Amino acid sequence: MNRQSIKAEKLDTTITEKPAYVEKLWQERKEQWNAPRFFILIISLLAIGLSIFHVYTAGFGTLPSWQQRSVHVLWALLLIFMLFPFRKGKKFGVMDVLVVLITLVTAYYMISGAEMIQSRQGNINQADVIFGTIFIALVLEATRRTNGILMSLIGLFFIAYIFLGRYFPGALAHPGVRYEKMVDHMFNGTLGIFSAPIYVSSTVLILFVIFGSFLMKSGGGQFFTDFAFGLFGNKTGGPALSAVGSSALVATITGNGAANAAITGSFTIPLMKKLGYSKRFSAAVEAVASQGGQIMPPIMGASVFIMAETIGLPYIQIALYALIPAVVYFFIAGMVVYFHAKRLKMEGIPKEQLPDLKAVLLKQSYLFFPILLIIGLMIYGYSPMKSGFYAILATILLSWIRSATRMSLLDILAALENGARNALVVVAACATAGIIVGSVSLTGLGITFSRFVIDVAGGSLILLLVLVAGASIIMGMGMPTVSAYVILAVLGAPALIDLGVNVVAAHMFVFYFGVLSGLTPPVAITAYTTAGIAGSNPTKTAFYAIKVGMGGFFIPFLFVYNPELLLQGADTTRIVIAVSSAFLSCLFFAGALENYFLGPLNLLKRLMLFTSAILLVMPGLIGDLAGFALVIFLFIWQKKTTSYVAENSKQLSG
C-alpha cells in the first residue's frame, strides 16, 4: 500500500474503554441470570476472596499441603458452578442449585476432616469412598463446563483405564485396580487430583494469573501495544510486525492464546485489513503471535512452573533455557511477515500516525518493572510465590505514578475478581490433569506407553519425534496449555528421554507442540477466534496460520538435535555457533515459505533456500559450511537477477 493513500490521522491504539467497575459487573451478570443483586454480589465476593486467599498465602505462608490444595480446588469448583450454568447459554437453574449444594456439603466434609482424611490414606473408610467419588465427579463436571466435554471425556477414559486395563492390547494391558484403591489414590493423598498440577496451580499458577490481571488493569496491555507499534509500525510490514510484537508481549501476561487474540486482535486485525492486508493473513498473523506468547519467558502460559516441578529444576533456569527458542520463533514469524510485505510491496504506517516511542517509554516504561522484579527476585533466590506476591504489590504502587493508570480500590477489587475468574478454567483443567497423572502412576502407563511408542518407531529418533509431535498436537487440541503439557509430560516426554533426548529438550518438545495445537485444525481455537474477528474462513485461516507459524513446528526439531539452543551441554563457542546458525536458518526458511529473498524466487531458488535452511541446523561443521556455500551462491545469483530486472525496467521507463 502507498503511504500517501493512508489517511493522515493519528493511530488510536486503545483496545477497550474502562467503564465503571460496578456498572460493568452488574450488566454482565444481569444478562446471564435473572437473579437478585445480592446473589451477583456473592459471586463477586467469592472470586475476590479466592484471590485474596492466594495472595495472602503467597506472602505469609501456605496451609499444609493437602489443605491448601483442597481449599483451592473446592473454592474454584464453587465459583465454576455459579458462573458456568449446567447447560451452556442457559440461565442458572435447579440443576445448578443442586450441584452448588453438593459442593458445599463436600467442602464441609473435606475441610472439617482434613487431618483425619489424610491419616486414613491407604486404609479409607466408606465415607471417604462416597465423598471421594462425589469429588471426582464434581471435578469432571467443572472441567466439562469450563474446558468442554473433550477434556472431561479424556479424564473419564483414564479412570476407565484403571479398571479395564486387562482388555487393552499388548504392553498397554495391566491387571486392573480395586475401586477403593482408585479413590484412595485420587482423593486421600497427593498422588492423584492433588498431585503436581494442582500443587503448582494452588501456589504459583493462580498467583501469576492474578498478577497478569493487575498488570492489565494498570495499563500494561495498552503500554505493550503502544510500545510495539511505536517500535515497528513504520517499518515494511509494520502493522503486522507490530501485531506480532504486541500480541507476544500481552500473551506473556494473559497466558492464554485465544484470550489474548480476543484482546489484541480486536484492534490489530481491523488495522491490518484497513492498510491492505487480506482478512486471512491478518487473522493468521494475530493467531500465530497470540499462541506463541505462551512459549515466551518469563511466564510461558504458566506451564513453565509445572515443567520446573516435573523436571526438578528451578523455574528461572527453565525460563532461561526457553528464551532462545522463543526469540527464534518470533524472529521467523516476523521475517515471514516482512517477506510477505516486501513481495506485495506493502509499506508501513507513517510515523505521524503512530504512538511516539520516546513519549511512551518516558511515560509508561515503569510498567516493565514488575516483570523485571519477578526475574530479579528469582535470580536472587526468592520463590516464584514470593516473587509474584511482591510483583502484585509493585504493580499497584507503580500504577499510582500517573493519574491515567492509578488503581482505585474498585480497580483493585476488579483485578482480584478478574484474576480468580480467569484462573477457573486452568484450575479445573489441572484437577482433571491430576486424575490423568494419578491414573498413569497407579497403572504404570507412562513406562509402558514409552516402550510402545519406541517399538512403533523401530528405534528411529526422527520417526519417534514425528509420532510424538503428532500425538502432542492431537492430545493438545482444545485444551489449555497447562493441561496439555501435563498429559504430554507423563506420556510423550519419557519416550523421547528413553531414546537419548536431553531431558529439557524432551519436555520443551512436547510443550511446543501442545501450544501449537491451538493453530491446527480441526480444533484450532486461537485461529478460529481471530478468524471470527477478521471475518475470514476459520479452516482456511487455521491452515494459513500453520504456514505463518511454520517456524514453531520447525524449532522443536532444531533443539532436539542442537540442545545448545537450550543452553544444554556445550561450551560458549558452540552455543554461539548453534544460535547464529539457527537464526540464519530461520531467515532462509522464512524466505522459502514466502517465496521472497532479495526479490521473488523461482522454484529452483526456493528449493535451494530451503535446503540451505536445513543444512545450517544439521549437527556438525560440514552442514554449516554447505549451507553457507549454497546461500552465498543463491545470494549472488539473486542479486544479478534483481539488478538485471531493475536495469530493464529503467530502460523501458526511459
CA distances from residue 300 to 305, 316, 374, 396, 545 in whole angstroms, order as listed? 9, 12, 13, 23, 20
Q: Is the pTM of this model over 0.85?
A: no
CB 486 within 8 Å of CB 197 = yes
DSSP letters along 562-583, please? -GGGGT-S--HHHHHHHHHHHH
Cell numbers representing residue 21 in the block: 467497575
Q: Which tens digit of pLDDT belongs to each residue from 306-350?
A: 888 888 888 888 888 888 888 888 888 888 888 888 887 777 777
Ramachandran sector of residue 61 (left: φ over 0; alpha: ψ -120 to 50; beta: rest)? left
* pLDDT number for residue 128: 92
Question: Is a pLDDT exceeding 80 seen at residue 21?
Answer: no
Q: Which residue has better confidence, 6 or 653?
A: 653
* pLDDT number for residue 220: 76
* pLDDT number for residue 110: 93
Q: Which long-range CB contacts under 8 A does 152-161 form with residues at least 24 apart?
A: 152/432, 154/432, 154/436, 154/475, 154/487, 155/432, 155/435, 155/436, 158/435, 158/436, 158/439, 158/440, 159/435, 159/439, 161/439, 161/443, 161/445
Sign of torsion, CA 118 121 123 127?
positive
* pLDDT number for residue 2: 44
Distance CA 60, CA 53 (A): 10
Cell numbers representing residue 438 in the block: 494419578
* pLDDT number for residue 256: 64
Question: Is a pLDDT exceeding 60 seen at residue 212?
Answer: yes
Cell numbers representing residue 55 in the block: 495472595
Question: In the predicted model, what is the mean pLDDT of the chain?
Answer: 80
| Triad 422, 427, 433: Cα angle to 5° | 140
Pick from 204, 236, 403: nearest CA to 309: 204
Distance CA 577, CA 599 (A): 28
Cis before 85 (ω within 30): no
Distance CA 104, CA 582 (A): 54
Q: Pick the range with the lowest mean pLDDT from 31-35, 75-79, 605-609.
A: 31-35
Beta bridge partners of 600: 596
Cell numbers representing residue 578 in the block: 548453534
Q: Pick the range with the lowest mean pLDDT from 95-99, 229-233, 414-418.
A: 229-233
Question: Is a pLDDT exceeding 60 seen at residue 15?
Answer: no
Q: Which tens digit of pLDDT belongs to each residue from 134-171?
A: 999 999 999 998 877 887 888 899 999 999 888 887 77
DSSP secondary structure code for residue 171 in this structure = G
CA distances from residue 222 to 163, 216, 219, 254, 631 in whole angstroms, order as listed? 51, 8, 5, 13, 41
* pLDDT number for residue 7: 43
Cell numbers representing residue 104 in the block: 458445599
* pLDDT number for residue 346: 73
Q: Which tens digit of pLDDT belongs to each residue from 491-538?
A: 888 888 888 888 999 999 988 888 887 788 766 777 877 887 788 888
* pLDDT number for residue 156: 92
